[in-house]
Chains A and B, each alone.
Chain A
Amino acid sequence: MKQRPIDLLPDTIRARSQAGVVAGRYVVAVLIGVVLLGLTATHSRLMLDLARQRLRVAEEQADIVLSAEAKAAYLRRTLRDSRYFIERYELIALPIDLSRVVATIINVLPASATLDRIDIYAGVRRNTRSSRSTGDNDADGPIPRVLTGELSGFAATDQDVAQLVADLESLGVFEQVSLDFSRTRSVRGHNAREFRISLRSSLSVRYEVADIEQPAPPAGDLERTHVE
């Protein structure tokens, strides 16, 4: 026997019930959305905190690097200043003391030789530029400096004079050593050879001073000088 379902629920009640079900679904959907939103927001905050922590560490390391950069820059600047000071100093100062040059000349004098006159000049090449033109030619840069000298005196023989010239040449201090003349001269009734020697050297080269072990001449603490 076939039974037929009997729906005794009034339509109004049914409609309210269906509306409640729909509303419940909406609420669940909203809740799910809010929870998802909350989870995502929490995740983003965590990621942000982590990034900030990593940034702090990176900044600490960067501070070390930056301080190293600053120190390197300071050192480079100081080094440049020091180099400039030394270059300027070498431009101003003479590369060799003239007292050492005089001492060196006296050291190589043969026993029979005597000097009457010593002229030594260290400075810019003479007659290269007139005093009027010095201000106009500044762009040319510093004028090369030279060491020039003249020695006049007498020796017993020409061999002694030649020996003096050879010794002066062998020193290496002077680029040019030339005998201007050698002539007879009477000294205390004896024949001697009067001579004049010219010396010339550049002051653009670097000199190295070396002590020699030999009895000091009367002038005191004398040293021989060599070109480096």
Chain B
Amino acid sequence: MSSSRHLGVAILMLVLIVGLGGLLLVWPSYREAGGIDLQIQELRKKGENYSLQSEEITKLTTELEALNHRIDTGLKVIPDSSDIAGLMRVLSLPVDGVHVRDQTFTAGPAREAVVGAKLAAQIQPLTVDMEARFDAVFALMRVAESMDRLLRISSVNIVCDRRQNENQPYAKASVVLEAVFEPPEEGP
């Protein structure tokens, strides 16, 4: 074998060794580093909006606190049952023959709370018929509307009865209350 051929083989071997070494040792590291750089760029892009997000979080928190405050202070509870018996217990007045001569509670069937609104909430009407002084009728209305739970008075009908005592007449009143409730959703 001539010396020039020796030289060619040697150079070829050297190139092969260096190439193989680079492929196994160098290239994977550079490739992984390149991938990591791309990841870093993506993460930094996300981080660019951080200050905007902080502002948004502050704004949302403030808004949510205001809404929660409004819910806590201005809105009443909607229970999951009408609890007509509990209502009657609260609204029942002593029939003493002086302030209250008669009081009758009549419950009606439950129906949707808002006609056509497709809400889960329902109402159960409770009609309170009374023969009493106006003060007692009015007090009953105030008690009903001051309760913690949501209760609507849908109608009031008060007729003054002067037949027995013209100076201090009694009122024949019919107050229709609507106990709002929201039955819990049935499971699957």
Q: Please name the residue on chain B nearest to A128 by beta carbon.
A: B115
Task: Specify which of B43, B60, B160 is in contact with A76 (CB 8 Å cutoff).
Answer: B60
Cα distance A73–B17 when bound, in Å?
A: 56
Say yes or no for A143: interface residue by CB 8 A criterion. Answer: yes
Say yes or no for A91: interface residue by CB 8 A criterion. Answer: yes
Cβ–Cβ contact B50 & A138, under 8 A: no
Q: Please name the residue on chain B nearest to A117 by beta carbon.
A: B159
Query: Please, what's the 1-or-0 string for A10-34, where 1 marks a CB less than 8 Å from any CB in chain B?
Result: 0000000010001000100110011
CB distance from B20 to the nearest CB of A (A): 9
Interface residue total, chain B, C-beta cutoff 8 A: 70
User: Contacts A58-B44, A62-B47 given: A79-B135 contact, CB under 8 Å?
Assistant: no
Cβ–Cβ contact A116 & B152, under 8 A: no
Cβ–Cβ contact A82 & B68, under 8 A: yes
Interface residue total, chain A, C-beta cutoff 8 A: 74
Cβ–Cβ contact A120 & B155, under 8 A: yes
Cβ–Cβ contact A122 & B115, under 8 A: no
Interface residues in B9-67 (C-beta closer than 8 Å to A): 10-11, 14, 17-18, 21-22, 25-27, 29-30, 32-33, 36-37, 39-40, 43-44, 46-47, 49-50, 53-54, 56-57, 60-61, 63-64, 67
Cβ–Cβ contact B57 & A71, under 8 A: yes
CB distance from A72 to the nearest CB of B (A): 5
CB distance from A5 to the nearest CB of B (A): 23
Q: How many A-B residue pairs have CB under 8 A?
A: 204
Identify the A interface with B (CB < 8 A): 18, 22, 26, 29-30, 33-34, 36-37, 40-41, 44-45, 47-48, 50-52, 54-55, 58-59, 61-62, 64-66, 68-69, 71-72, 75-76, 78-79, 82-83, 85-86, 88-89, 91-94, 97-99, 102-103, 114-124, 129, 134, 137-138, 140-143, 188, 218-221
User: Contacts A26-B10, A89-B78, A220-B135 given: A64-B154 contact, CB under 8 Å?
Assistant: no
User: In the complex, which residues of chain B have a beta carbon less than 8 angstroms from the beta carbon of A47?
Assistant: 29-30, 33
User: In the complex, which residues of chain A have a beta carbon less than 8 angstroms from the beta carbon of B27?
Assistant: 44
User: In the complex, which residues of chain B have a beta carbon less than 8 angstroms from the beta carbon of A41?
Assistant: 21-22, 25-26, 29
Cα distance A93–B156 when bound, in Å?
A: 17
User: In the complex, which residues of chain B have a beta carbon less than 8 angstroms from the beta carbon of A115?
Assistant: 160
Say yes or no for B102: interface residue by CB 8 A criterion. Answer: no
Query: Please, what's the 1-or-0 string for B149-172, where 1 marks a CB less than 8 Å from any CB in chain A?
Result: 010111111111000001000000
Cβ–Cβ contact A22 & B6, under 8 A: yes
Q: Please name the residue on chain B nearest to A44 by beta carbon.
A: B29
Most chain B beta carbons < 10 A, residue from A98, A119, A141: A98
Q: Please name the residue on chain B nearest to A219 by beta carbon.
A: B138
Cβ–Cβ contact B40 & A58, under 8 A: yes
Can you add 18 more A-B contacts, CB < 8 Å, to A66-B46, A116-B160?
A22-B3, A29-B14, A37-B17, A37-B18, A48-B36, A61-B44, A69-B53, A85-B71, A86-B71, A89-B75, A92-B114, A93-B76, A94-B152, A99-B141, A117-B159, A119-B156, A123-B154, A221-B142
Cβ–Cβ contact A93 & B150, under 8 A: yes
Task: Specify which of A86, A93, A103 is in contact with B138 (CB 8 Å cutoff).
Answer: A103
